[in-house]
Amino acid sequence: MAIIDISTLSETANLIDRELKHLPYVELRETLGIHGINLIQNVQNKDTITNFFRKGGIAKPYVPGTVEDNDLAKTQERILQVEKAYANVIDEPSRFKKTIVGPDVLLGKNKSKTHPWEVECLTSIVRTFGEDICDALFPAKRDVADRSPMGLFHGFDTLIDVDVTAGLISEDEGNIVETDEIKKPASDETDAYDQLLAFWRRAHPLLRQASTLLLVPFDMGDAYDDAYFNKYKTKPTMDNYNRSILDGSGGKCTIVRSLAMGTGQRIVLTVPGNFDFGMDTFSDGQFVTVRNIEKDPNFVQFWIQADYGCRIRNVHRKVFQINEGKPVPNALSGDYQISGDDKISEPED
């Protein structure tokens, strides 16, 4: 017989199931929004789009007897492959006893044997699950041997690396531009400002003409603002989301300082909506399941399972450009994580 009665906890999970299913998206919503990333819902295994690239220069002066043939176009498939992710959380409810102040109640005693903090535990688990997805959004590489969020699916940086290897992103294709290291400036330096503007100006004319997002690691965004201040002794122009407008772009380019991109040197110039994030979490099945575990009835198991994946819709130079910098991931989810020696680094009291 189970020592902890999980019936009310399971009932709560069922009652708020709709909210729990949407909670990972709530955690992701701001990150997806500022990066201009589309949310593709209810993806079953994979979603495929086909890009149609027209051949230019087909118009010629007509001369009788010298009619030349032309190709119409080329096509390219771009696949959003979702991969199964899970979280298996084992909790000992006695660690989370409520503190009740009253003359007839012992402090912290869980007399009903129900799980304390029912909603808090359920929502905290799902929130952390969503934060793990944010951490994985750019640097992750699908690898079932990697028992961390970095093995969940191919993130955007990994997809870029795949396209570089395949030759779809290269100097010859015109969608990769060399930059020097972009770092925090000294009090009189403007290098970060100069390099980001030069990077934008080397983009394809149609990409420069479009409204674009320049995705940069968070500290690089700070470096641009510092360099701008060094140049003009004032703060840069900001949009409604507190994002800097790239000076010299005619208001066309918005700098997105990204925690999700980590701390490396990779930067990405693209149009809003060119990145897709796919998920399949709004199905009829219960999102969080709860049960006692057989080996110790004092413990409760929470199980979450869902499917996620990423896609870059188009890496053509008219809509996409990167530099040759290498990304370095962040690990920001939760309030503590497992360190390299596999021991929990608990927060200080």
Whole-Å CA distances, 265 to 55, 60, 177, 302, 328: 34, 45, 13, 38, 8
Helix or strand or coil: residue 323?
strand
Burial of 316 from C-beta contacts in 10 A (0-12 / 13-18 / 19+): buried
pLDDT given at position 343: 42
Reference 17, options 290, 300, 292; nearest CA is 290
List alpha helices for 171-313, DSSP H: 191-201, 205-209, 218-232
Euclidean distance between CA atoms 300 and 177, whole angstroms:
52
- Which pLDDT tens digit goes with each residue over 90-114? 776 666 555 444 444 444 444 444 4
Which phi-psi region, left, alpha or beta, contains residue 184 (left: φ > 0; alpha: ψ -120 to 50)?
A: beta
Q: Which amino acid is at 281?
A: T
Q: Say what the pLDDT of residue 262 is.
A: 93
Tens digits of residue pLDDT in 312-332: 999 999 999 999 999 999 888
Q: Where are the domains of the chain?
A: 7-51+76-323
pLDDT computed for residue 323 by the predictor: 97
Give the residue ranges of the chain where pLDDT is below 50. 1-2, 99-116, 284, 340-349
**What secondary structure, in 3-state letters, does 104-168 show?**
CCCCCCCCCCCCCCHHHHHHHHHHHHHHHHHHHCCCCCCCCCCCCHHHCCCCHHHHHHHHHHCCC
SS3 48: strand
Residue 192 is predicted with a pLDDT of 96
**Token reading at 295:** 């080996």
